[in-house]
Every structure is written in C-alpha cells, then in structure tokens.
Amino acid sequence: MKPTYAFAAFALAIATPTPALAATINAIMYKNPECSCCEAYAAYLEQNGFKVDIKPVDNLSQISSDAGVPADLEGCHTLMFDGYVVDGHVPVDIVRKLLTERPAITGITLAGMPAGTPGMGGEKAETWTIYAFTKDGKAPTVYATE
C-alpha cells in the first residue's frame, strides 16, 4: 500500500496552531434589585462571550466601595471577573482591552448611566470616559474614551 498524503495532512493539521475559540469569561454582577438596565448589560456581555451570574443586592454602594470603585465614579452595577472589577456600562471592546493588556489596576468604571451605552437606551450624545482605579486609593486615571 502506498503512503498517502492524507496522514501527513492530518498530522500537519493537528500540529498547526489554530485560533482558539474564545473561552467563556465567568463574571459575577452585583446590582440593585430594582435596576433593569443591568440585565440588558448582562445580556450584551453574554452575547460577547461572558457568562454572567446576576446577584441582586441591597448594599451595592458598599460592594463597589469595598472593590475599590471611587464613590464619585460608581455605575449602577459592579461586575467581577478574572481578577478585575468593571463598574457601569463599559463597552465590551474596552473590557477586552483590559483583559488583553492586564494592567496593574483593580478595575475600570464608566460612571453613571450614560445614554447609548450598552444596556441603556437612547442615542450616544457624548464621549464616554472610562477610568482606571486601584485598590490602594490612588487617583483614578483615564483608561479609555469612546
């Protein structure tokens, strides 16, 4: 029997690295029980490769504070995953930037509930500023704008 190229092609195929499917990112979202935009943001994240466990809490401000989020930069929910904190309706491309760059920060935040952000209704009417913060209380810095 003559050797075939099928085996060689198969061997090459399994030895050649291929782009891996993006692994699911497990996250916990703490949110005010009455806030419905948080569920919309969680659905947006799930459409983008996250698995979000939503936990309604009555002490969101305390959870955010304990996570290092500056009080004047809190969003309407606090998301925790892969060693980081994301507060508010941060667009997924900025979240992916955080996960790719892996900076020495505690997390990022988009304060308030700006119109047009993922999970919020309305049209985008302004540039969004996403701040980086650290657990040790250093002054927040601009991480990204969109």
pLDDT at position 22 is 58
Gap between the Cα atoms of 58 and 64, Å rounded: 12
* Cβ 84 vs Cβ 106: under 8 Å: yes
Average pLDDT over residues 102-130: 94
pLDDT at position 47 is 96
Residues 6+ apart with CB under 8 A from 135: 67, 68, 106
Say yes or no: domain 21-145 is CATH 3.40.30: yes
pLDDT band at 138 (very low <50, low <70, confident <90, very high): confident
Q: Give the model confidence (pLDDT) of 59-78 as tens digits.
A: 999 999 999 999 999 999 99
Q: What is the pTM of this model?
A: 0.82
Q: Give how far Cα 28 sits from Cα of 78, 79, 139, Å.
A: 8, 6, 26
* Cβ 72 vs Cβ 111: under 8 Å: yes
Whether 110 has a pLDDT exceeding 90, the answer reads yes
89 secondary structure, DSSP code: -
pLDDT at position 121 is 85
- HSE-CB for 107 with a 13 A CA cutoff: 26
Round the average pLDDT of the chain to a whole number and report it: 86
